[in-house]
Every structure is written in structure tokens, then in C-alpha cells.
Amino acid sequence: MTNSVNAMSLQDLRNRKSVKWRQFPSDVLPLPVAEMDFPIAEPVKCALRDMIERSDTGYLGPFPEMFEAFAEFSKHRWNWNADVAQMRIATDVGVGTVEVIRTLINPGDRVMLNSPVYDNMWRWVAEVKATLVDVPLNESNLDYSLDLDAIEREYQKGIKVHILCHPHNPVGVIFSKEVLAKLADLAVKYQVKVISDEIHGPLTYEPNTFTPFLAVSDAAREVGITVTSASKGFNLAGLKCALIITSSQELKEKINSMPISVAFRASLFGAVAATAAFRDSLTWLDGVIATLNENRNLIRKLIDTQLPAIGYRIPDFGYLAWLDLSNLGLGEDPTKLILERGKLAINGGVMYGPKHTSFARLNFGTSPEIITEAFHRIQKSL
Ligand SMILES: Cc1ncc(COP(=O)(O)O)c(C=O)c1O
């Protein structure tokens, strides 16, 4: 039996120093940025306390135990034999992705995204001075999928890198192994490298299956680079440590050509915490998933009983609800009015894609009381 992990009280959360709790005045309920409101796993706390006790606060160097912990975790959760010899460290998933792209493109080269998609990905493409090519996801009743035909048409015109959000934030969808295999075949055919951002993978709900891109097929292993970390699954974003993983020899050499500073800019605390997370914190992770599972169903219930005009598809993973607010009568930018009138902060859909102005992303990695209050505040804004 799984013991669910409960969120901290609102009073304790308001004492947190992270951006989620500092970005807005205290009368605003903040459910935007992707941080969870749970206490972190006890093994992670112990590992960090031990570092502090021993004043072990220097730079991060070789850290094979994190690679081994991740390999074991991936084998156990996803039946993926990730190769520790092909793993590298980066500060976070954002820095890792940007640095990987730098080894693969020249400025001006075309890089693909699939909107609506995690807002920072747009900035990563700008940061490497690439030309952005957006091939929006197909959508049917808020169920989204990759548009493989449109993707092929753009691949044909020349794409150097495709940044895949897998699982896909904010729409809550996990792409199937079969679809990913087709994508990988296209990438081989048109010589596209696929960077798979798998940061949300650990938060997959059963019976859905998350297949890491490098576990999909030989073609995927030829073109794929995974960038991931413990930061979403285990709520460790502030500790700064991510993994870059390849399977092909060619891509391994590319990754090895990155400046050595890429690894040095990660944090020792991040590596220690990630190791304790992937190796020792599976019970906690299952507890969090059990709580989030209740929360995603609670949102369904709150919408059905109080705000049926909101469109919502229960997500396949994680703690992000993608809400269609277009029928609420709140105009062009519903989240602005919800903040002004209801004092609830949620991210506007336009952050994720230009056509999604009337959508919002709500973070439900919190308590049922806070979620209920959030929907009460949406109702008050009408
Ligand atoms: C898909 C995705 N990638 C990356 C990140 C950020 O990761 P990091 O802080 O490691 O850059 C997030 C954060 O929400 C995310 O949703």
C-alpha cells in the first residue's frame, strides 16, 4: 500500500523563499511556477544535512554514484538500460539543452518546437540564435498529439535539432512508443537530432507508460539526446544539477566537446540530492504520485460540479492542469482578470503558444484545500 505524501500548510509555504512564494503579494494564492508544495523526501534531507554537518560545500567533481542511481532508477521504472558511460552533468535541463544545441548547430539553423510547449523552450532557441520552427501539436478535445506529417514537411526543408517535450508540458500528454519510433525514423531519414526533455517522466501515472526516447528504437538511439533531472519529480529545482544522456558514439563525442565548465556550473548539493532521490526515495515518489492522482481527479470533480465551462483533460503525468478558459466569458486574457479579481495566480496559455491566450496552466502539486480555494477564486472572478 502506498502512503500518500501531504502538502505543507499554507502558513509554512508562505515562509518558503522560492520564487513561487515570493513572486506575488501575500493575498494572492500562487499556483503558477512548477514547484510542488510537499516536504522533500527524507533520504534527500538526510543526504543534504550530512553535507552541511561535514561542511562539504565545495565544487562538484566526478559523481559516478548519481549516474548509477539514475541508471538503476530508469531500469526499474521504465526498463531502460541507460549507459553510465554516456552520461554528463549540466547545471539544469535548460542549460543542458542550450549547451547541447550549441554543439549541433550554427546560428541561424532551424530548431523545431511543438506548441503549446514549456515556455522556456522558446527562450532556449533564441539563446542559441537559432531560427525557430513551430509545428503545433494536433488537438482533439484537449487530447494532443505530434503532427508527424507536418513535422516531416519541416524536416524535409532542413531542421538541425528538434526539442521534444516528453512528457509534454503543459498539455499533460505522454507520447507513445509507436509514435516516437515513427518520429525517430523521420529524424534518421532527414538527419535531425532529437533532444528529449524528460524532466517530468518520473511523475507518470499508472497505467500510462512513459518510454524514454533512447529506449524507443535503434533509430532513436542514433539521433536522440536525453536531458533530464530529479528537479521536477523530487522538487529539487533550486539545487541545480541535470543529466545529459546519449546512446550513439557520434553524439557522445559531440557532448564531450562541450566546455568542461558545463559540468562545473552544476551544484554538488544538486548531485547529492539527485542521487538520494533516484536511489533511495522511490517510496516518497510513489506517495507523491498517489497524492497528485487524487488532486487531478479532484480538479475534474470541481470543474464538473462548479465550473463546467472550463475545459480540462485529466493529465497523464505530473501536477500541471491545462485549462481551457475560453467559455468563462473573461475576455482575451482570463488569467489577468483571475489575478485581479480572484487573487489567484496561474500561468496564461500564451506563455506556451501564441494561439492559446484563453488557456491557463494551474499547478496542482499542493493540498486539496488549496486546489479547492483556487477554483473558488476562479468562480469569484466571473
Ligand atoms: C519540460 C520542462 N523542462 C525543463 C524545466 C526546467 O528545468 P530546469 O530547472 O532543470 O532547467 C521545466 C520546468 O518546469 C519543464 O517543465
* Domains annotated on the chain, with CATH: 10-40+282-380 (3.90.1150.10), 45-280 (3.40.640.10)
- Which residues approach ligand 1 with their CB closer than 6 A? 34, 92-94, 118, 165, 169, 197, 199, 229, 231, 237, 242
- Which ligand 1 atom sits nearest the alpha carbon of residue 33? 14
Proportion of the chain above pLDDT 90, given as a percent: 97
Residue 268 CA, ligand 1 centroid: distance in Å: 19
Residue 33 CA, ligand 1 centroid: distance in Å: 10
Residue 34 CA, ligand 1 centroid: distance in Å: 8
- Which ligand 1 atom sits nearest the alpha carbon of residue 95? 11
CB atoms within 10 A of CB 67: 24
Cell 557520434 appears where? 250
The amino acid present at 223, given as its one-letter code, is: V
Q: Which residue's alpha carbon is nearest to atom 14 within ligand 1?
A: 34
Residue 282 CA, ligand 1 centroid: distance in Å: 21
Residue 120 CA, ligand 1 centroid: distance in Å: 8
Distance CA(211)–CA(178), nearest Å, equals 10
Q: What is the pLDDT of residues 33-50, one digit of tens each?
A: 999 999 999 999 999 999
Residue 188 CA, ligand 1 centroid: distance in Å: 26
Q: What is the pLDDT of residues 11-36, one digit of tens each?
A: 999 999 999 999 999 999 999 999 99
Q: What is the pLDDT of residues 107-160, one digit of tens each?
A: 999 999 999 999 999 999 999 999 999 999 999 999 999 999 999 999 999 999
Mean pLDDT within 305-315: 98
Cα 221–chain centre separation: 21
Distance CA(82)–CA(247), nearest Å, equals 8
Among 232, 320, 347, 351, residue to substitute to test ligand 1 (most atoms within 8 Å of Cβ)? 232
Residue 51 CA, ligand 1 centroid: distance in Å: 26
Q: Taking the complete model, does pTM exceed 0.85, yes or no?
A: yes
| Residue 1 scores a pLDDT above 70 | no
For 172-210, b/e burial (b = at least 16 CB within 10 A) is: bbbbebeebbbbbbbbbebebbbbbbbbbbbbbbeeeeb
Instruction: Output helix, strand, coil percentages for the chain, rounded to the nearest 5.
Output: 45, 15, 40
- Which ligand 1 atom sits nearest the alpha carbon of residue 91? 10
Q: Which residue's alpha carbon is nearest to atom 13 within ligand 1?
A: 34
Among 198, 231, 234, 362, residue to substitute to test ligand 1 (most atoms within 8 Å of Cβ)? 231
Q: At what angle do helices 282-306 and 368-380 cross, to 10 degrees?
A: 30
Q: Which residue's alpha carbon is nearest to atom 4 within ligand 1?
A: 93
Distance CA(128)–CA(119), nearest Å, equals 15
Residue 319 CA, ligand 1 centroid: distance in Å: 13
Cα 37–chain centre separation: 16
Residue 92 CA, ligand 1 centroid: distance in Å: 8
Residue 96 CA, ligand 1 centroid: distance in Å: 11
Closest CA to 248 of 272, 224, 276: 224
Per-residue confidence band for 4, with pLDDT thresholds at 50, 70 and 90: confident
Distance CA(325)–CA(163), nearest Å, equals 28
Torsion of CA 128, 132, 138, 143, to 10 degrees: 30
Cell 516536504 appears where? 39
- Judge whether 209 and 216 are in contact, CB under 8 Å: no
Per-residue confidence band for 3, with pLDDT thresholds at 50, 70 and 90: confident
- Which ligand 1 atom sits nearest the alpha carbon of residue 242? 10
Per-residue confidence band for 260, with pLDDT thresholds at 50, 70 and 90: confident
- Which ligand 1 atom sits nearest the alpha carbon of residue 229? 10
Indicate the length of the chain as a whole number.
Answer: 382
Q: What is the phi/psi pair of residue 230, to 5°?
A: -85, 5
Mean pLDDT within 242-271: 95
3-state secondary structure of 179: helix
Q: How does strand 161-165 pair with strand 29-30? A: unpaired
Radius of gyration of the chain (CA): 20
State the chain's mean pLDDT as an integer. 97
Distance CA(114)–CA(195), nearest Å, equals 13
Q: Which residue's alpha carbon is nearest to atom 5 within ligand 1?
A: 93
